[in-house]
Amino acid sequence: MTAPRVQRCAVWFGTPGARDEAVFAASGWHLRIACPEAGIQVGMRGGDLVIAVMDLRGADAVRLAAFERILAEHADLPSLALVDDTLDPGDPPCQRVLARCGGRLPQPLDSQRLDAALATLLGSPRRDIASVGGESAAMLGVRALLHRYADVELPVLITGESGTGKELAAHALHDLSSRRTRPFVAMNCGAISPTLVQSELFGHERGAFTGAATRRMGLFESADGGTVFLDEIGDLPLDAQTNLLRVLQEGTIERVGSNHAIRVDVRVLAATHVDLDAAIAAGRFRQDLYYRLDVLRLQLPPLRARGADVELLARQFLDEFRAGHAVQARGFSAAARQCLRQHAWPGNVRELLNRVRRAAVVAEHALIEPTDLQLGHSNAQIVALDHHRNRTERDALLDALRATGCNVSASARRLSVSRVTIYRLCRKHGVSLDAFR
């Protein structure tokens, strides 16, 4: 079923930073580092998709000449130029290098900019998992793993709190894999009555049980060639666990009411938000099945551990909502953004999505406020804290000015800040030095 995996490899001429490597990995690209002056001397497999990244940051004449040489010798190699403000685009060698590169990577580098540049460079959008949003180090790591696991024909156990995006990740694994043209079938093991789970998963023969008037195909047969995603795997009844083990070990199923083995070709992805070890200890989950499922592990971080992703996703959800609905809201007020940063997000991304959509509907002004997000309580605390901070800052400034006879340098020394900061604080708190003197 699996086509031989094409490695996507970017030869980076220069010195990438750790974040550059993480952003490329999150888009499914492996970096090879090369010294421009030495030219291309990195071993590559024939079928690999290769591009070059010319790191022009701080490049001197010797380096620019080396880039020109490489680009001339490898005219067919799709190339991107990494640029920054130190570059003089009017410099003829620099102009020649930029003209030969098929695109530019602006700084700071993020996944969206990289994906857009690659899509333009390579002429076709690559297999896309842009729906799994986030630029935090944790989410770059998750996307890199999604690329790495996609074409490996082994089960993946996806763990993480409720609402962290486990089903989304399962979809992404399917979409990135060579099975993507075949079905993706999901089942929540906890949402189906234990008596029906077997027949849902494996189908049944006519007359297998009361009410089985016709033969019915199960989920595994209907997903043949594709992917089965079993959510809340910890809730799977023990008899169904035994049959799932058979699928994983032998690649066959038996319909309920039949002892005829049917071969199925499916990849199994499973998710849980509970610790399966406890279910094993309680005798509710088979240990051998756990070992079979937990071959590749994908751990989704809680939203509260994703830093600036909260604001980034909130903005993204609002923009998506605005695209389909006529609403007043255009953005978030400073207080709302602060609330977004401070909230603990027990319901993770699902909670954020729902709060943003609701806020977009109820907001009566262009900027969403904390009350629209129904995060008013924590906002009251934040506002109160900000108020105290401001007052303390103003009092300290006035005390210093008074104590020094309004001498800016002496006030700066007294408060251990720069003179510039004293002037900034005066502006911020409406303190006129002339009037004060």
Ligand X SMILES: Nc1ncnc2c1ncn2[C@@H]1O[C@H](COP(=O)(O)OP(=O)(O)OP(=O)(O)O)[C@@H](O)[C@H]1O
Q: Could you give the 3-state DSSP secondary structure of residue 231?
A: strand
Of 27, 111, 159, 164, which lies in the binding site for ligand X, with binding defined by CB under 6 A? 164
- Residue 84 Cβ, how far from ligand X at the closest point, in Å? 29
Q: How far is CA 245 from the centre of its chain?
A: 31
Q: Which residue is nearest to ligand X (CB)?
A: 165
- C-alpha closest to that of 251 among 271, 265, 240, 268: 265
CB count in 10 Å sphere of residue 25:
18
Q: Which is nearer to ligand X, 58 or 346 (CB)?
A: 346
Q: Give the Cα separation of 338 and 332 in Å (integer).
A: 10
Q: How far is the CB of 348 from ligand X (least distance, A)?
A: 7
Distances (CA, A) of 41 to 44, 68, 80, 100, 198: 9, 16, 18, 20, 56
| CA–CA distance, 281 with 174 (Å, rounded to integer) | 32
Query: In this complex, which beta carbon is closest to ligand X, that of residue 162 or of residue 407?
Result: 162
Question: Which residue in 166, 174, 255, 343 binds ligand X (CB under 6 A)?
Answer: 166
Interface segment toward ligand X; rule CB under 6 A; list 1-9, 286-294, 345-353, 383-391: 345-353
Is 167 a binder of ligand X (CB under 6 A)?
Answer: yes
For residue 339, what are the contacts with CB-CB under 8 A and spacing of at least 6? 370, 373, 375, 378, 379, 382
Contact code string over 226-265 relative to ligand X, x by CB under 6 A: -----x----------------------------------
Does 134 contact ligand X by CB under 6 A? yes
Crossing angle of helices 419-428 and 376-403, rounded to 10°: 120
# binding residues, ligand X (CB under 6 A): 18
Closest CB 231 distance from ligand X, rounded Å: 5
Tokens describing residue 366: 């262009």
Q: Which residue among 14, 155, 165, 218 contacts ligand X (CB under 6 A)?
A: 165
Q: Does 301 bind ligand X (CB under 6 A)?
A: no
Cβ 304 to ligand X, closest distance in Å?
Answer: 14
Ranges within 32-91 binding ligand X (CB under 6 A): none
Q: Of 96, 94, 233, 242, whose CA–CA distance to 156 is shortest?
A: 233
Segment interacting with ligand X (CB under 6 A) among 28-36, 129-137, 366-374, 425-433: 129-137
Structure tokens, 164: 């962290």
Residue 41 contacts by C-beta under 8 Å, 6 or more apart in sequence?
Answer: 34
Give the chain's length.
437
x/- mask, ligand X, residues 263-282, rule CB under 6 A, reads ----------x---------
Please identify, using beta-carbon distances, which residue of 168 and 410 lies nearer to ligand X: 168
- Which positions lie near ligand X, rule CB under 6 A? 131-134, 160, 162-168, 231, 273, 313, 349-350, 353
